[in-house]
Amino acid sequence: MRFVYPAVIRRVSKEEYTGYFPDLTDCVFKGDSLDDAIESAKEAAEGWIRVELEEDGDLPAISDPGDIAHEEGEILRQIAVTIRLTDGWDE
């Protein structure tokens, strides 16, 4: 299955980016560049989603990016992860 959640990314310094997923509670990430932060975001979201699916199978609704409050200079990016589900959960 493919999941796409919006992420908010902030440049903290010349060599550090941090970010979070507004819809995925406590799902945060960071990287040394924007590309690194995006890769880290994919890994963080995949882990978060896998745990939720294993625990209760309920995922939060996906926010419309236009509805997400963010500060000037922050980047909104749609992050897609593909998870192959097993044990009855298959595409």
Domains of the chain are 2-82 (3.30.160.250)
How many whole angstroms separate alpha carbon 65 and alpha carbon 23? 11
Q: Tell me the whole-structure pTM to 2 decimals.
A: 0.87
Q: Which of 36, 41, 30 is nearest to 3 (CA)?
A: 41
> Which residues, in sequence order, are CB contacts of 35 under 8 Å at separation 6+?
none
Using the 8-state DSSP alphabet, how is residue 72 labeled? Answer: T
pLDDT at 91 over 50: no
pLDDT at 3 over 90: yes
